[in-house]
């Protein structure tokens, strides 16, 4: 069976990550300032700054810096795995 590569190159496939690796990454960001980027679908994104403050067995919570933020603040590790949520550590100011 021949499967041609669609796109510009064969390296466009996501790297294999596991839920365990994502949990370790999120645990390392506990109580640190982070930038959260949410994919809402149909090319819509929301980006906000927050502090990662709660780590549980199946989800984690963030506390947004903007007190008027009305969006969701608890996310599952599978949302990072699927690409719906991206978390990066903010540089110290």
Q: List the CATH number of the domain containing 81.
A: 2.30.30.100
Residue 30 resides in a domain: yes
- Whether 2 shows a pLDDT value over 60: the answer reads no
pLDDT at residue number 84: 95
Average pLDDT over residues 28-39: 96
Residue 12 resides in a domain: no
Q: Is 2 or 90 the better-scoring residue by pLDDT? A: 90
Average pLDDT over residues 9-29: 83
Residue 28 resides in a domain: yes
Q: Is the separation of the CB atoms in 33 and 89 below 8 Å?
A: yes
- In the DSSP assignment, the letter for residue 6 is P
- The span from the CA of 14 to the CA of 82, in Å, is 10
Q: State pTM to two decimals.
A: 0.80
Say how many domains are in the chain.
Answer: 1
Structural domain harbouring 23: 17-89
Residue 7 resides in a domain: no
Average pLDDT, the chain: 88
Comparing CA positions, the residue from 93, 89, 92 lying closest to residue 25 is 89
CA 9-10-12 angle, to 5 degrees, is 80
Residue 11 resides in a domain: no
Q: Is the separation of the CB atoms in 29 and 87 below 8 Å?
A: yes
- In the DSSP assignment, the letter for residue 32 is S
Q: Is 1 or 89 the better-scoring residue by pLDDT? A: 89
């Amino acid at each position: 069976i021949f499967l041609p590569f669609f796109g510009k190159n064969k390296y466009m496939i996501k790297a294999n990550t596991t839920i365990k690796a994502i949990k370790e990454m999120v645990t390392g960001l506990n109580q640190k300032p982070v930038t959260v980027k949410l994919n809402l679908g149909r090319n819509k994104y929301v980006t906000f700054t927050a502090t990662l403050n709660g780590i549980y067995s199946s989800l984690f919570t963030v506390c947004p810096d903007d007190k008027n933020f009305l969006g969701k603040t608890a996310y599952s590790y599978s949302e990072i795995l699927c690409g719906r949520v991206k978390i990066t550590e903010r540089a110290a100011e």
